[in-house]
Structure 1
Amino acid sequence: MENEIVHEIFQQFEGKFPPTDQEIPIKQTIMFFCNNKISKVFCATAFDYLAGLNTQQFNQSRLFVYLNHFEQVSSRIINHLLQIREKNVFHRYDFGETENLIKYNSKTAPKYPYSRIIFNKIVLISGLNDAIASPDDVHQLRKKLSGKIFIDYIVKNPKWNHLDFIFGKNGYENVNKFIAETIEKYSGKKLINHHN
C-alpha cells in the first residue's frame, strides 16, 4: 500500500521527481498536494504516515504551521533519503557516476566515515516508531559508534515517530525534558523556563 501511495503522488509529476532538473522546494510540492481538493482530506494523515503513524501526537489543525518549517527543504534532500534507503548505506548524495567523479573523485558516492568521529560523549535519542530513522537504522548506528555513545535514550512512547520530536503534542514530557535535564546535569548550568 505504501508504494501505491508514493506512486500516486509521483504521478502528479508525470513520473518524475523532482518534476524538473532543478531543485524544487519541498514546501511547494506539499502545499500543492495539500491544497488539492481531492487529496486535501488525506494530507495530514499522509504527512504523519511518512514519518511513522502516530495520530495521537499530530495536531492536524496546525498542519500549515508545520508546513512552514519546510521552507528550506529541497527535493534533493528527499532524493538523498531515498538513495540511502534503497542502498541501505549512509553515504553522501549520489549525483550519478559522471558528476560523482567531478565532486568526489569517485564513481560512487562515498560513505560517511564514522571512524572520523572522535567525540566520545554522544547522546543518542531515538523513537521506536520512526519510519525515517527506524529502530534497525539506529541499531546499525549504535554498532558503528561503539564506545562513543555516552547516553542512549529511547523515547518510551512506542508510537513516537520522526516528526514527533519536533511537532509532538507531548514533546516536553517525552523528549525535551530529558534533553534539558541532561544539559543541566552535565553543564552545571540551569536552563531557564524548562520546569513545569
Structure 2
Amino acid sequence: MSAQISSAQSGAADKAGEREPLLSIRGLRVGFRRAGDQFEAVRGIDLEVAKGEVVGIVGESGSGKSVGMLAALGLTSKNAVVTGSVRFNGDELVGKSSREMRKIRGARIAMIFQDPLSSLNPVMTVGAQIAEAVRLHQRVTRKQAMARAVELLNLVAIPQPERRVNQYPHEFSGGMRQRAVIAMAVANDPDLLIADEPTT
C-alpha cells in the first residue's frame, strides 16, 4: 500500500502524550487467494486514531485504502487473508467471528460507503432501512425507530423528511441518497466513523 496518512486533531480533550488511541492498526496486511495463489493487496498499514481526532488516508486509486478499512471491519470476502492487528478501544478485532463483529459494526464503528446505490436496498423504503439499522442495536419499537429515521433525515438536511421516509432509493437524487447513507451510519451514535472516498 503506497498511501500517506495525515491527521488533524479536532477537539480531542486528552492531553498530549496521555491519549489512548480509539483505533490502533499495526502491520495490517490483506491478501486474496485465487487459483491456488495469493495476491497481496495491502502490504502493511500502521495508524492510530485518537478520540476526537480526524485522520485522512491519501493514496492513488488501487493503493489499498478501501480494502484496508474493509479488512479492519471484517468486511472482506471469504477468500481474503487478513493478518496484523486492529485494536478498537483496546479490543482486538482481527480474528473475531462475524457474529461478534456485527455487534460492533453499526453500533460502535460505522462506515459510509462510496456508492450509496450499493448500500441501499432498492425494494425497501429509505426510512425502513434506517429504522432497521436503529433496531439492530437499540431496544426500541418500530414506531420509535421510524421516528428516529425522520429525525436523522432531517439532521442530514433531507427536505420534507416525514414524506421522504416512505420513499424508495430511486425516488431520491444521488446527493440525497448519499445523505441517507450518512444518516444510516450515524443512526447509533458510533464512536468511530469511517468515510470511504469522503470527497465524493
| TM superposition score normalised by structure 2 | 0.27
Decide which structure has greater helix share.
1
The higher radius of gyration belongs to 1
